Amino acid sequence: MLILLGLMIGALLNSLLYLLVLISPRKMNSIANYLFGGFASAEYHDVMIIAVISCIGVMILFSMQKGIKLLQVGELKSQSLGLNVQSVTYIVLIIASIMTAVVVAYVGIIGFIGMIIPQLIRRFYCHYHLGILMLLNILIGGVIMLMADFIGGTILQPIQIPASIIIALLGVPVLFYILITQSKV
């Protein structure tokens, strides 16, 4: 149900965006930059806003590690161990949504990074503590984003290929490989 709701909202917002493109073709460049996602138009002020909100969100999530870890054992067990499952779930979802919304508002949609990095981290570092896994997701995700932006800026100079395109081109085969190997296990 939640996935269908997300698809419906996404379809509605995409149709509104395409309507804006039709109404104002001169703004097509900024809309395309947003849709493809990248760092080409990011300014220092934008980076500072993203950094502050991300740091606050990460600190809150790190302080909630115990509750998040308890959520992994299931709702009933978590409740029996004294966790208020609903409040922890809502807080985590709200913080993650705010952090995602701020980043997407400034750099656009970069979809595959959020699917690939957690899968790779879970595959190669599955025995680590939750806090280390969270930190690895942040660091490795950030490094891969910087590498994608660097590759996008140098591969066809002077044209800047958005980071999301590089991530998708490299990420689809990786995600496909992960899905194939997970189904064999």
**Residue range 9-18, pLDDT digits in tens:** 777 877 777 7
123-132 contacts: CB < 8 A, separation 24 or more? 123/178, 130/65, 130/68, 130/69, 130/72, 131/62, 131/65
What is the average pLDDT value for the chain, to the nearest integer?
84
- Per-residue pLDDT, averaged over 52-64, amounts to 95
- Residue 20 is predicted with a pLDDT of 73
Single out the residue of 131, 111, 148, 138 nearest to residue 54, CA to CA. Answer: 138
Taking the CA atoms of residue 94, residue 95, residue 99 and residue 102 in that order, the dihedral angle to the nearest 10 degrees is 50
Q: What is the pLDDT of residues 72-81, one digit of tens each?
A: 888 889 888 8
- 89 pLDDT band, cuts 50/70/90, is very high
The domains of the chain are located at 36-109, 110-184
Residues 21-49, mean pLDDT to the nearest whole number: 76
Nearest to 36 by CA among 185, 166, 153: 166
Across 118-146, average pLDDT: 89
Question: Closest by alpha carbon to 82, among 58, 66, 98?
Answer: 66
Read off the pLDDT of each residue in 167-176 and give the average, rounded to a whole number.
85
Q: Indicate if the pLDDT at residue 42 is higher than 90.
A: no
